[in-house]
Structure 1
């Protein structure tokens, strides 16, 4: 979910408006060209102070001051005098126990990102993006990405195995999410998270409340995890780490999976546990199918409602001449997935199960969830487990 620099990525803004608030809001990653054959990247981690041997309630008792020697008597900088930000600061002091001068000091150093503002001001509807399912899939499910996914699995096998055992989520789907979101940490975002969230909260009037809520959750995260609030970097909308969690998702689902006392989404081990926990809490069915190709006896399926928002029973699909080609299926409703191909207009039929729907809780897109599924399966096949 990075700042778009081409017409394909600009079109992700429309999807962003619909799906922001889960983890990542869009699978597009055009900010950084991915031409290197290396499977690893040096990740710039946030500045984290050693966490005291205390629970979070005791951490809050530091007079409301977080990490960093920030202090000012008034709000200055790019947002000096901004009534919305001043109101936010006042609320954080009143309801969350922050020190006012500390917040003045922090937000006086926050920058108004003109590139983020221009993005939210855009009203274009994606006139130049590759059209259809095949083009979308082929951006992510590539031989190079499969190999990188295999390398990530090999490098982090003990944590992936433990996550699978603890949360019931197969390792390949954790890998699939991280591959689509950040290419396993290769492209984590170049915007300071606090700049992105503050700019978005002030310039995006339609979603101002959402972004101020995310900014609140971000400041609470940096305080509880002892992070310098001006240090972490992420996407243009404030998504963070290997799995591109928004700050609210951090508080709902992030876990300290390596036991060092800090929930750090820029740490691949904590990110593995956090993605697995996210899926588990959204109802992942252990051992259940995700999606399988469908065999069809008529073209009826192409003219009825489809997608993750529409629920059918297997008997409903049967009446439409649709049946899964293989697999044991899963309990509960199913989804008819008719993925449009271009230019021939054919709709590729699939049957999606509960776990497919769970993936869409991460990003509200049929294409996204199917791409995660196919990348996950390709990596598992290469690993041979």
Structure 2
């Protein structure tokens, strides 16, 4: 059942919806969040989150919370175990341990400012933690929305924090004739970029041994990475004329999942993901209705910008840029969408999931 929590800031009362699941925080909520009194209240100035003067920030911290709210926050900080502290969204992990260790070494917290003496706590963090203690469910709606977006973008489901920690990925795109892959790091630097022929696979009787031999040869060239991201192509199973291509795609996808998820049987950790092709197209403004257009011109622009601009959107190593341009030029007369798409998919993975950047498709400057 949702309960309206009230916080006094700048002389105005604001409501925060909160679902109170823990009796520990239910007691806290009842003790510090009361209905607005009819008696006049003194206006309390709002202090900015980015105060540049640490001493003034410490003094201002008391002004952000009422005496009852401060007492309730201190009660949690001084009495909650590390497990109970981890129930607060911003205190999961090392922060909860640091609070307990600081409390055991120096005694109870006397005021909110003393929380900034704990490792990993600065002024802005302290305010966020205090608000999370008072209103433990205020940020869940946004989290749920982000998780829904993530589920529509990639599968299987993997925690966002694990995805954000990816230092490098290999993006793999396969078609009926070619398989292309690019190795990209979190600085959006291309470490390697290749394509291989596989046109004979779709011909004949789909022999498993032939697929195994060809895919094994390609995987032997693919470097180690935190994740391997495959393009998920949506082909209707009701279109019988496309059934050979659909079968081909499913065979390759299954083999890549099996052969690249090397440690899954031991640790159950997914290293191979499938990424929605049209979501990548929307990110780069390549969609016309429900149809995705070619990314050829966009990739050509990335290659040129890497040489001509000081801060390109994608970095190509100087010792390989000539080879990549030659590879691109030699196939100019052919449609090599797998080559373009592998790079675009890798960039979209980092910009949408890891770096939270949403720059315009044609912008070559770093958004920061």
TM-score interval, smaller chain: under 0.3
Task: Kindly indicate whether structure 1 or structure 2 has the higher relative contact order, using CA contacts under 8 Å at least 6 residues apart.
Answer: 1
TM-score normalised by L of structure 1: 0.22
Give the structure with the larger strand fraction. 2
TM-score normalised by L of structure 2: 0.23
